[in-house]
Structure formats: C-alpha cells, structure tokens
Amino acid sequence: MAEEKVDPTFTLNYRGKVVAFCCDMCVKKFQANPEKYEGRLPQFAEAANAAADGQIGDLGHDHTDAPGHSGQDGLGTHETSSGKAAPVSVAEIGHDHGDIESGDEREPFLGRLHPIIIHFPIAGLPLALLSFLVWVRTGRRDFARSDAIPLFVATLASIAAVITGNIAHNSMRFSESLHVIVERHQFVSTAVMVIAICLSVIRLWRWNKLTGKWRWCYGGGLAIVSALLGYTGFLGGSLVFGLDHMAW
C-alpha cells in the first residue's frame, strides 16, 4: 500500500469518522450535499469491510497523477496524532478542478476577475519600460511621454489585481506548502503595486522635466518593478500549475 500524507486542512469528521479530501473544492461539495457522496465511502457503504475508522473511499475522482497524490485507487496512509500511519484513501468528489459549481462553492465575483485583471499590469509595465528605453536611446520628442499611458493603466490595474487577489485568497484554503507561496505572492504583488504608484506619481510630477537623476531613478524603478512582476507571475503560476511547473 502506498503512503500518502493527508493534509488535515482538507479533512472532516462525518458521522464519527474521518473523511479526507484532495482539495478545498471537494470539501465544499461534500459539505453542501453529503448524502450524494456518502454511498461511495467504504466506511458507510461497506462498513463490514472497513479496515479502520480512518479508512475512506475514492469518490470517482482520478487524481493518481496529480501533484501530491500517490497510490493505487486512491488508497494510501495518513499520519495520526500519535505519529503512526493509518490506512486512508482520499475522498475525491469527481471533478477536474476546473469545474466550479454555483452556490457557496463559487469564489466571490470580484475574486474571479483576478485572472483577467492581472494581464493589464503584465503587459503595461514592461511596455512602459520598453517605451522609456526607446525614448532614452533615440532622444526623439515624440517618444518623450510614450511610457506614461501604459504605466498609468498598469498602475490602476495592479491596484485592482491586488484587491481581487486578496478577495479570491480569503475565499479559499490552501495546503501548508502552497500557503507559503500564497503569502509570498501577496507580498511581492503588493510591492509591485506600491512601486507602480510611486512611479506614476514621479511621472506626473516630472511630466515636462524628467531629466537628470529623476530620469534614471524612474528608469531604474521601471526595471525593478518589471522584474518583480515576472517573479510574482512565476509564483502565481505555481499556484495554478503546481510548484514544479517550470521544471525541465
């Protein structure tokens, strides 16, 4: 029997028995309608054959190849408070993790806008940096303010992205390993927002005289915020596609 450590974040006590789940979405689905899935749990459907109170069944959700899952037919073990391994299979509700039903299981509407909004700072901040470099390199006056519009749009979008991202985060639960990534993603994205706001203020303040040290401070800030943007995008990708999504 393969061993699988069950995250206690995704476990429930149901009718005196422990039921473990693969993710927060499965927990919510089971809580919304436990009778719908109860018949698939060996503890209740085949109580006579249950090896222990901690044994639980596969609810028709194939996750054997997903990160963090192992074993055959969903069976594995989890660590108890005594440190001993108890037999367990993760209850999986039968979804592909892209299917979110209506009702309490859905994220708040603003939270669902986060994946859309983030594309504006992703496009705007590097474009502002590129426009600035073209202006510095060519010295042409018609490029003198070409960086301003993408910067202002990206700044407003970064504020909206941070707000919607926090709303989405507050409506979800993450495993311990992903929680660290979430906190880092929040911190870096907030830093991107603050730097973008500061750069927008500088650009407005020095609208006609972005010269000397202000020009280089501004350009350096654009380079830094673009690099941080790439890093927070990498962290966001880790939350969506897994911690090793960039592995070769």
Cα–Cα dist 19/31, whole Å: 11
Output the tens digit of pLDDT for each of the chain's 248 residues.
Answer: 444 556 666 677 777 777 777 666 677 677 777 777 776 776 666 553 444 444 444 444 544 444 444 443 443 334 444 444 444 445 544 444 443 333 345 567 877 889 899 999 999 999 999 999 999 999 888 788 899 999 999 999 999 999 999 898 887 777 777 888 889 999 999 999 999 999 999 999 988 888 888 999 999 999 999 999 999 999 988 888 877 777 76
Q: How many CB atoms lie within 10 A of CB 184?
A: 14
Q: How many CB atoms lie within 10 A of CB 185?
A: 22
Residue 171 CA, distance from chain mean position: 12
What is the pTM for the complete model shown?
0.58
DSSP code of residue 123: H
Domains and CATH numbers, the chain: 8-89 (no CATH), 109-241 (1.20.120)
Q: How many CB atoms lie within 10 A of CB 155?
A: 26
Residue recorded with tokens 């708040």:
108
| Type of residue numbered 248 | W
